[in-house]
Amino acid sequence: MLIVQISDIHCGPMFNGDSFRTAVEEINSLSPDLIVVTGDLTEEGIRAQFLKAEGELKALRAERVIYISGNHDYRSTGYLLFREFFPFNQVTEAGDVVIVVLSSARPDRDDGEVGHRQNLWLEDTLAKYRDWMKVVAIHHHIIPVPDTGADQITIIDAGDVLRSLVRSKVDLVLCGHRHRPWRWMIENMQVVHAGSVSCEKLRGFFHHSYNVIEIKDKKIDAKLKIVGGEYVDFKDVINKREHIKAQTS
């Protein structure tokens, strides 16, 4: 299975349309099985920006596209608009992979929260998929990301969420929100953070990017793709930042 993760589009004043459309062409050429959009499709959650996001995202071509709301999408009562423009199922089955969406955005708050009931629901749901590859997608980051400055907008119940993820033997977690690509390994679980595909506000890694993830024979290979540039191994992103800077300058 080939999964492409894009995040933090931010249709609005900071949206870079050229970068987004270049990314769409590149992604479509991969013929992915699944595209996961991990939140902040808009800047302020207003109808005009949802209309813009809807028009831009229609150009993506994949068997399935999963949309996740971000904190910016929930501004200005945008939570009332999100499902109108981007309906989705919270559980998606594809081959022997199950993708579960957790909602972390809350109205007019930048921090995230999953909540006790949703954590219990996650554990109960994934218990039904014991022998499947398990992927969880969420907007907010469950672990702070380096090179992003002071961090007061993580998930406020991140400890409980991590416990539920580990208990459920999740293989892969996809996060957005911080506009900085990164990867953590927790026990046997990969936590992959996306940068921004099209927002001018970037942190620590100053290139628009998205993630390309191949799941084959129960193994996960996640790589970073710079829009209009090269593929980058996450080991290089984490350990060789100067190498990345030189490679992409």
pLDDT in tens, 162-206: 999 999 999 999 999 999 999 999 989 999 999 999 999 999 899
How far apart (Å, rounded) are the C-alpha atoms in residues 36 and 230? 21
Q: Is the pTM of this model over 0.95?
A: no
SS3 state of residue 30: helix
Which of the four pLDDT bands, split at 50, 70 and 90, describes residue 153? low
Domain extent listing, the chain: 2-248
Q: What angle do CA 77, 121, 110 make, to 5 degrees?
A: 30
Return the structure tokens found at 159.
Answer: 């400890």
pLDDT in tens, 208-239: 999 999 999 999 999 999 999 999 999 888 76
How far apart (Å, rounded) are the C-alpha atoms in residues 30 and 48? 30
- DSSP annotation of 120: H
Whole-number pLDDT of residue 155: 86
Whether the Cβ atoms of residue 212 and residue 34 lie closer than 8 Å to each other: no
SS3 state of residue 57: helix
Give residue 168's Cα distance to chain centre. 20
Average pLDDT over residues 47-55: 98
pLDDT in tens, 97-117: 999 999 999 998 989 999 999
How far apart (Å, rounded) are the C-alpha atoms in residues 80 and 230? 38
- DSSP annotation of 199: B
If one counts every other C-beta atom within 10 angstroms of the C-beta of residue 50, the result is 20
Return the structure tokens found at 238.
Answer: 């984490």
How far apart (Å, rounded) are the C-alpha atoms in residues 221 and 73? 30
Range 2-248: architecture per CATH: 4-Layer Sandwich (3.60)
